[in-house]
């Protein structure tokens, strides 16, 4: 084979490798979206099934995407909980938690990110941040002051509410089953894939360093999805004042399996905020 033939063969190998790498990259980005976001459209349950009065409200993110949420009022409420849910389902799958916070004497505002429930659009990291900021703005438009807002985030929602708190005032934060960053999760789930392959960051640990409001971080020792160690890392990186609550049960069941611990410790946390 002459020089030109060898050069052509090398070029074909190079191009083939490029195509393979591009296909792998595209596949990993697809897996990333499927791993991070599991939205469902149908709303299966409603607050009225838990004897909760509620307002079905619509509002818009800064980029014009129309979002949907439920505002559950509580007469004489001490605080309003801004509820950022996890990566799967939609607001209709959190009715038990809405009832829980309502029972602790709080208004609750839960909303669906873009692409979830009846909210428009498609989910993305920046999109979720934008949606949560819009939800915060909605509460402010109702005349609810920041010192009366408690940010609550479950799992991926913890990363979202931390982003809100890094840019806006809140009275306190409750982070439930939340990870420290996508980089850390990648090392756990895909240890042989460099984290920079994925577009999302959700660098919660870095943002929480500068948030000085009281924080309650909750995580199960038995969490099979988000490693307990990542929540401990998040706690270690967080600025004081802060508390850590260990619970038991699976990632999606620990609230029910450890409900007594949740109720006592969150009630005490809210009570201490008033002192």
Kind and range of the H or E run holding 10: helix 3-36
* % of the chain residues with pLDDT over 70: 83
CA distance 158 to 149: 15
CA distance 15 to 9: 10
CB 125 within 8 A of CB 202: yes
Whether the predicted pLDDT of 135 surpasses 80:
yes
Helical H segments across 190-246, by residue range: 204-208, 228-237
Q: Is beta strand 149-154 parallel, antiparallel or unpaired with respect to 79-84?
A: parallel
Phi-psi region of 39 (alpha: psi -120 to 50; beta: other; left: phi over 0): beta
CA distance 269 to 263: 10
Q: Which residue has the higher pLDDT, 142 or 26?
A: 142
pLDDT given for residue 178 in this prediction: 96
Whether the predicted pLDDT of 23 surpasses 60:
no
Q: How confident is the model at residue 201 (pLDDT cuts 50, 70, 90)?
A: low
pLDDT given for residue 196 in this prediction: 54
Q: Is pTM, for the whole model, over 0.75? A: yes
Give the CA distances from residue 52 to residues 48, 70, 113, 114, 151, in Å, rounded to whole numbers and listed in that order. 5, 11, 22, 25, 20
Average pLDDT of span 82-103: 97
Whether the predicted pLDDT of 22 surpasses 70:
no
* DSSP code for 113: P
Q: How confident is the model at residue 50 (pLDDT cuts 50, 70, 90)?
A: very high
Q: Any catalytic annotation for residue 223?
A: yes
CB 217 within 8 A of CB 243: yes
Q: Which residue has the higher pLDDT, 28 or 127?
A: 127
Which entry of 92, 124, 130, 155 is annotated as an active-site residue? 155
CA distance 22 to 78: 53
CB 132 within 8 A of CB 126: no
Q: Any catalytic annotation for residue 251?
A: yes
Query: What are the backbone dihedrals phi and psi of residue 212, each rounded to the nearest 5 degrees, phi first?
Result: -100, 5
Q: Which residue has the higher pLDDT, 9 or 237?
A: 237
Average pLDDT of span 114-140: 97
Whether the predicted pLDDT of 30 surpasses 90:
no
CB 226 within 8 A of CB 178: yes
Sheet holding 55-60, edge to edge: 55-60, 66-72, 106-112, 79-84, 149-154, 172-176, 215-220, 242-247
Burial of 260 per CB tally in 10 Å (0-12, 13-18, 19+): exposed
Q: Any catalytic annotation for residue 155?
A: yes
* DSSP code for 146: G
């Amino acid at each position: 084979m002459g020089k030109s033939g060898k050069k052509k063969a090398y070029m074909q190998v190079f191009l083939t490798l490029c195509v393979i790498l591009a296909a792998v990259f595209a596949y990993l980005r697809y897996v990333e979206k499927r791993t991070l976001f599991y939205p469902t459209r149908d709303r299966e349950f409603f607050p009225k099934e838990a004897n909760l009065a509620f307002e079905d409200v619509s509002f818009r993110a800064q980029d014009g995407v129309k979002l949907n949420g439920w505002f559950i009022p509580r007469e004489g409420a001490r605080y309003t909980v801004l509820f950022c849910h996890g990566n799967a389902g939609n607001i209709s799958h959190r009715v038990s938690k809405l009832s829980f916070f309502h029972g602790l004497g709080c208004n609750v505002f839960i909303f669906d990110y873009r692409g979830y429930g009846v909210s428009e659009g498609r989910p993305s990291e920046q999109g979720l941040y934008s949606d949560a900021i819009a939800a915060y703005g909605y509460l402010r438009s109702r005349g609810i002051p920041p010192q009366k807002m408690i940010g609550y985030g479950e799992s991926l929602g913890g990363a979202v509410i931390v982003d809100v708190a890094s840019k806006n005032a809140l009275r306190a934060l409750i982070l439930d089953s939340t990870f420290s960053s996508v980089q850390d999760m990648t090392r756990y789930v895909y240890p042989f894939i460099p984290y920079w392959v994925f577009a999302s960051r959700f660098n919660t640990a870095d943002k929480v360093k500068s948030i000085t409001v009281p924080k309650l971080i909750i995580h199960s020792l038995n969490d099979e999805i988000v490693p307990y160690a990542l929540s401990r890392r998040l706690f270690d990186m967080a600025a004081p004042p802060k508390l850590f609550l260990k619970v038991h049960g699976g990632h999606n069941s620990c609230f029910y399996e450890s409900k007594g611990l949740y109720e006592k410790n969150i009630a005490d946390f809210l009570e201490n905020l008033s002192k």
